C-alpha cells in the first residue's frame, strides 16, 4: 500500500470517528437539532425532540410551519444579519410547538464554510425556554403589583398630618414620612439612615429618645410622651408621641415605630380656658367689693344690698357650674384624643378608613375600615357613587362640591360631615382629608377618614349647656341691673356721691357681664347652627349713618370722623352687619387713648362694599395679627392688663362676615394704630 493510500485511510478513519462522536453528542442532547441551506430557504432536517414537529425531508415552508406570524419579521432580520456577516445566528423567539401551542426557544446556528469561506449550510440547535420566559413574565407582573401596592400605601400615608417614622436598634431612622421630612426641612436622602443628632435633635432630646427606645426594646410595650421641638417653618411646636415595638416572627423587637402629632393648638386652647377662668374670678372679686361698698353706704340701702348679695351668690354658684362643666368637657375631650392617638401608629392599625381613586380610570379602592364607616360589609364592592349616597342629605351637595374642587383646582379636601350606614342605618360623624397626588405621570385622589362622632356629640352637648347656662344667668343679671338703676334714680335727689359712684361701677360691671354672656350665647348658637342669616336688600350707607348718630351721642371721649358714603346696596342680615360695625368701632374706642381720632369709611371696590375702621391706638404685633379673629384669642402683654374681654367679639364678627361670603382682616403697626376692614358682595338686584 502506498503512503498516500495509508494517509487517505487514516484520514477516513478520523472522519468516521468524528462523525460517530458528533452523532453520539446529538443523540445525547435534549435540544432540537436542525440544518438549513446556505440561504436558509430550505430546512434539510429537523429533529424536534417532542418540542417541535420532526422533519426528515427537505422543506421550503419550514418557517410558516414553525414560526408564528408575529415573529417572522424579527427572525428573518436576524437570519439576514448572520448571512451578511457570516457569523453565528442566535435569537430568543416564539415558536409553534409540536402540540400547536406557542412556546419560546433560544435558537443558535453555526455556518459551515468551504475553503474559500463561502457558506455551504447551517447547523443549529433550539433550546426550549418556554417555562423560563413564563417565569420571567410572572416575575414582572408580581413586581408591577408590588410597586402598585407600595405606591398606594405611600400616597395614603402622605395624606395624614401625623409624623410617622421607624428606628432601628442603633437609633437610626430607617423610615420617615413626608410630614416628618417637611418638619425637619430635609429630604429622604439626607435624613433616612441617620441618627437623632444628625437630624437636628438637641443632645438632651436625642438621649431621651434613645433611653425610650431601649425601654420599648426591653419591655416590648408602647411608650407615650410629650415634647417641644422646633419646626422648620412654624417655629417651636408641642408634640404628643407614641413609640411602639415592631416584633419579628420569633417575637423579638427588631425595630421601634413612632407616630407624633402636633398638639400646639390644643395646648393653647387649654391655656385660653385657664385664662378665661382667671378673668371670671377677677370679675367675681370686683362684684364682691362693690357689694361691700354698697353695704357700707347707709342703712336705707341695707335691705336692697342683701338682695343684691343673694343674687351675686347665685351668680357665683352658676359660675362654678360653668367652670366644672368646662373642666369635665376638657377631660372628656382629652380622654377621647388619647384614646384615638393610642389606637395605632400605622394607617392600617390606626382606626383610619383609607381611599384611593384613580382620576383617569375612576377606579375606587376602599379599605375595610372605610366600608365599615359607610355601613358596608368588608367583602362588599363599593364605588364612589354608592359611598356618596350614604352622606347625610343635608351635607351631600357640600361634600360633592368640595371633592369636585379638589379634582379641578388641586386643593386639599378637609371636611367634617355625617354619614348614614348602608346596612345598619347608624349615623356617624367623620372627618375626611384628601388631596390629588401625582405619580408616574398619573393623578390619584387619596386620603383618610376617621370617626369623630363622640367629639361632635361633645360639641353639641357643650353648646346646649352654654346656651342653657347663658339663658339662666341673664335673668338674675337683668334683675340686678334693675335694682341698681332704681337705686341710682332714688339717690340722684341726695348728695351721697360715694354711693352714686359705687352704683355706677356696679352698673358697669353688670353691663360687662351681660355682654360677655351674650357673646357666649352667640357662640353657642353659631356652632350649633342656630344663628340664622336673615338676608334683605338694604342701603349700607343708611346703616352706617345710624351707627354714626349713635356713637356721636354716646362717645364723648374720642373724635369719631365718618366719611360720606354713597348709596351702597347689599343683600345681607342688616342687624348682624350692624353688630359687626358696632363691635369694630367699640374696639377702636377701647384700645385708643382718650382724645384720639377714629376714622370710619366705606367705599365700593370691584363689586364689593369695603368698610374700614382706623384708630391711632396701641396697635397689634405681627405675631398676633393672624390670630385675633380666632375664638377666645386675646393679645398678651403688660399694656393689656387694664382691658377686659374674652376674645369672642372679633371671632363672632369673622363668622358673620364669612357667612355672608365676605372677607375680614386687620392691618396694624405696633404702637401706632390699626385698621380693621371687612368687605361684602354688592347686591345683584
Q: How far apart (Å, rounded) are the C-alpha atoms in residues 524 and 272?
A: 17
Dihedral angle of Cα 359, 362, 363, 368, to the nearest 10 degrees? 90
Dump the DSSP string for 579-639.
HHHHHHHHHHHHTS-TT-EEEEEEEEETTEEEEEEEE-SS---HHHHTTTTSTT----SGG
User: For residue 384, is pLDDT > 90?
Assistant: no
Domain 31-127 and domain 536-681, same fold? Reply is no
Could you state, in order of their start, the residue ranges of all structural domains in the chain? 31-127, 159-262, 272-341+457-527, 353-451, 536-681
* pLDDT tens string 9-30: 655 554 455 445 445 545 555 6
Nearest of 484, 509, 477, 479 to residue 318 by alpha carbon: 477
User: How does the average pLDDT of the chain come out, rounded?
Assistant: 79
Q: How far apart (Å, rounded) are the C-alpha atoms in residues 645 and 626?
A: 18
* pLDDT tens string 539-560: 999 999 999 998 998 889 999 9
CA angle, residues 576, 580, 586, in degrees to nearest 5 = 135
Radius of gyration for the alpha carbons in the chain, expressed in angstroms and rounded: 42
- What is residue 439's predicted lDDT score, i.e. its pLDDT? 74
Confidence of residue 514 (pLDDT cuts 50, 70, 90): low
Which of 342-346, 354-358, 481-485, 656-660 has maximum average pLDDT? 656-660
Residue 431, strand partner residues: 416, 450
Distances in Å between the Cα of 494 and the Cα atoms of 109, 481, 490, 498, 499 are: 130, 20, 8, 11, 10
Is domain 353-451 annotated with CATH 3.40.50.2300?
A: no
Q: Residue 291: left (phi > 0), alpha (psi -120 to 50), or beta? A: alpha
Q: Which of 194-198, 458-462, 670-674 has the lowest mean pLDDT?
A: 458-462
- What is residue 599's predicted lDDT score, i.e. its pLDDT? 96
- Percent of the chain residues past pLDDT 90, beyond the cut: 31
- What is residue 333's predicted lDDT score, i.e. its pLDDT? 41
Q: How far apart (Å, rounded) are the C-alpha atoms in residues 545 and 553?
A: 12
Q: Which of 45-54, 317-326, 422-431, 587-596 has the lowest mean pLDDT?
A: 317-326
Q: What are phi and psi of 665, to 5 degrees?
A: -155, 170
Residue of higher predicted confidence among 211 and 498:
211
Residue of higher predicted confidence among 497 and 172:
172
Q: Say if strands 163-167 and 119-128 run parallel, antiparallel, or are unpaired.
A: unpaired
Q: How far apart (Å, rounded) are the C-alpha atoms in residues 367 and 384?
A: 13
What's the mean pLDDT in 416-444?
A: 86
Quote the pTM value: 0.35
Confidence of residue 527 (pLDDT cuts 50, 70, 90): low
- What is residue 466's predicted lDDT score, i.e. its pLDDT? 59
Nearest of 148, 268, 177, 260 to residue 212 by alpha carbon: 260
Residue of higher predicted confidence among 9 and 397:
397
Q: How far apart (Å, rounded) are the C-alpha atoms in residues 446 and 434?
A: 5
Residue of higher predicted confidence among 52 and 604:
604
Residue position matching grid coordinates 376692614: 677
Distances in Å between the Cα of 335 and the Cα atoms of 223, 339, 463, 534, 560 are: 17, 6, 19, 39, 50
CATH topology of domain 536-681: Heat Shock Protein 90 (3.30.565)
Q: Which CATH architecture has domain 31-127?
A: 2-Layer Sandwich (3.30)
* pLDDT tens string 441-490: 788 888 888 888 888 777 666 655 555 555 455 557 666 767 777 777 77
- What is residue 649's predicted lDDT score, i.e. its pLDDT? 80
Q: Which CATH architecture has domain 159-262?
A: 2-Layer Sandwich (3.30)
In three-state secondary structure terms, 56 is coil
Q: What are phi and psi of 3, to 5 degrees?
A: -65, -35
- What is residue 23's predicted lDDT score, i.e. its pLDDT? 54
Residue of higher predicted confidence among 523 and 274:
274
Residue of higher predicted confidence among 488 and 3:
488
Q: Which of 94-98, 125-129, 345-349, 365-369 has the lowest mean pLDDT?
A: 345-349
Stated as kind and residue range, the H or E segment containing 248 is: none
Q: Say if strands 673-681 and 353-358 run parallel, antiparallel, or are unpaired.
A: unpaired
- What is residue 516's predicted lDDT score, i.e. its pLDDT? 61
- What is residue 36's predicted lDDT score, i.e. its pLDDT? 92
DSSP 251: S
Which of 55-59, 76-80, 420-424, 488-492 has maximum average pLDDT? 76-80
What's the mean pLDDT in 106-132?
A: 91
Dump the DSSP string for 483-534.
HHHHHHHHHTTS--HHHHHHHHHHHHHHHHHHHHHHHHHHHHHHHTT-----
**371 near 352, Cβ under 8 Å?**
no
- What is residue 628's predicted lDDT score, i.e. its pLDDT? 87
Q: How far apart (Å, rounded) are the C-alpha atoms in residues 457 and 464?
A: 10
Residue position matching grid coordinates 354688592: 682
Query: How many residues make up the chain in this entry?
Result: 685
* pLDDT tens string 306-320: 654 564 566 456 556
Amino acid at each position: 500500500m502506498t503512503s498516500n493510500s495509508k494517509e487517505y485511510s487514516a484520514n477516513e478513519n478520523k472522519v468516521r470517528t468524528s462523525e460517530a462522536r458528533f452523532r453520539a453528542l446529538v443523540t445525547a442532547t435534549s435540544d432540537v437539532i436542525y440544518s438549513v441551506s446556505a440561504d436558509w430557504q430550505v430546512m434539510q432536517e429537523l429533529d424536534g425532540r417532542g418540542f417541535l414537529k420532526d422533519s426528515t425531508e427537505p422543506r421550503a415552508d419550514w418557517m410558516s410551519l414553525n414560526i408564528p406570524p408575529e415573529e417572522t419579521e424579527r427572525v428573518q432580520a436576524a437570519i439576514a444579519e448572520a448571512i451578511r456577516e457570516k457569523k453565528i445566528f442566535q435569537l430568543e423567539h416564539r415558536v409553534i410547538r409540536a402540540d400547536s401551542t406557542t412556546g419560546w426557544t433560544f435558537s443558535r446556528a453555526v455556518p459551515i464554510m468551504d475553503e474559500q469561506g463561502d457558506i455551504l449550510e447551517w447547523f443549529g440547535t433550539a433550546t426550549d425556554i418556554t417555562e423560563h420566559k413564563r417565569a420571567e413574565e410572572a416575575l414582572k407582573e408580581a413586581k408591577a403589583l408590588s410597586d402598585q401596592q407600595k405606591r398606594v400605601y405611600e400616597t395614603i400615608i402622605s395624606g395624614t398630618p401625623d409624623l410617622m417614622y421607624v428606628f432601628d436598634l442603633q437609633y437610626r431612622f430607617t423610615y420617615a414620612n413626608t410630614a416628618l421630612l417637611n418638619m425637619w426641612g430635609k429630604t429622604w436622602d439626607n435624613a433616612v439612615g441617620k441618627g437623632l443628632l444628625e437630624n437636628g435633635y438637641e443632645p438632651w432630646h436625642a438621649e431621651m429618645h434613645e433611653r425610650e427606645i431601649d425601654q420599648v426594646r426591653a419591655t416590648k410595650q408602647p411608650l407615650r410622651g410629650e415634647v417641644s421641638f422646633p419646626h422648620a417653618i412654624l417655629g417651636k411646636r408641642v408634640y404628643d408621641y407614641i413609640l411602639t415595638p415592631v416584633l419579628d416572627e420569633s417575637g423579638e423587637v427588631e425595630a421601634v415605630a413612632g407616630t407624633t402629632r402636633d398638639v400646639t393648638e390644643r395646648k393653647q386652647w387649654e391655656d385660653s380656658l385657664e385664662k378665661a377662668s382667671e378673668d371670671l374670678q377677677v370679675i367675681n372679686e370686683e362684684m364682691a367689693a362693690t357689694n361691700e361698698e354698697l353695704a357700707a353706704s347707709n342703712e336705707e340701702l341695707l335691705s336692697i344690698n342683701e338682695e343684691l348679695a343673694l343674687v351675686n351668690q347665685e351668680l357665683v354658684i352658676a359660675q362654678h357650674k360653668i367652670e366644672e362643666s368646662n373642666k369635665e368637657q376638657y377631660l372628656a375631650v382629652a380622654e377621647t384624643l388619647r384614646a384615638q392617638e393610642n389606637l395605632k401608629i400605622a394607617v392600617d392599625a390606626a382606626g383610619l378608613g383609607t381611599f384611593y381613586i384613580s382620576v383617569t380610570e375612576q377606579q375606587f379602592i376602599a379599605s375595610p375600615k372605610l366600608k365599615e364607616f359607610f355601613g358596608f360589609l368588608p367583602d362588599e364592592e363599593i364605588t364612589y357613587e354608592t359611598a356618596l349616597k350614604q352622606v347625610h342629605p343635608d351635607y351631600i351637595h357640600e361634600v360633592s362640591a368640595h371633592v369636585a374642587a379638589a379634582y379641578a383646582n388641586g386643593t386639599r379636601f378637609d371636611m367634617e360631615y355625617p354619614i348614614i350606614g348602608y346596612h345598619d342605618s347608624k349615623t356617624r360623624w367623620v372627618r375626611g382629608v384628601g388631596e390629588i397626588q401625582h405619580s408616574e405621570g398619573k393623578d390619584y385622589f387619596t386620603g383618610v377618614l376617621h370617626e369623630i362622632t363622640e367629639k361632635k356629640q361633645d360639641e353639641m352637648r357643650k353648646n346646649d349647656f352654654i346656651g342653657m347656662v347663658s339663658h339662666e344667668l341673664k335673668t338674675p343679671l337683668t334683675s340686678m341691673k334693675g335694682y341698681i338703676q332704681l337705686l341710682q334714680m332714688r339717690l340722684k335727689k341726695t348728695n351721697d356721691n360715694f354711693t352714686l359712684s359705687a352704683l355706677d361701677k356696679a352698673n358697669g360691671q353688670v353691663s360687662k357681664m351681660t355682654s360677655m354672656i351674650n357673646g357666649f350665647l352667640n357662640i353657642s348658637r353659631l356652632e350649633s347652627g342656630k344663628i340664622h342669616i336673615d338676608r334683605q336688600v338694604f342701603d349700607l350707607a343708611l346703616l352706617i349713618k345710624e351707627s354714626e348718630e349713635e356713637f356721636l351721642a354716646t362717645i364723648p371721649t374720642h373724635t369719631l370722623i365718618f366719611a360720606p358714603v354713597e348709596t351702597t346696596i347689599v343683600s345681607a342680615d342688616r342687624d348682624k352687619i350692624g353688630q359687626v360695625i358696632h363691635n369694630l368701632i367699640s374696639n377702636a374706642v377701647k384700645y385708643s387713648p382718650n382724645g384720639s381720632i377714629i376714622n370710619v369709611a366705606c367705599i365700593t371696590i370691584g363689586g364689593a362694599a369695603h368698610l374700614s375702621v382706623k384708630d391711632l391706638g396701641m396697635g397689634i404685633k405681627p405675631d398676633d395679627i393672624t390670630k385675633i379673629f380666632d375664638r377666645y384669642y386675646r393679645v398678651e402683654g403688660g399694656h393689656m392688663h387694664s382691658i377686659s374681654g374674652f376674645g369672642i367679639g372679633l371671632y363672632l364678627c369673622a363668622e358673620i362676615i364669612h357667612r355672608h361670603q365676605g372677607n375680614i382682616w386687620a392691618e396694624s403697626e405696633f404702637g401706632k394704630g390699626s385698621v380693621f376692614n371687612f368687605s361684602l358682595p354688592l347686591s345683584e338686584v
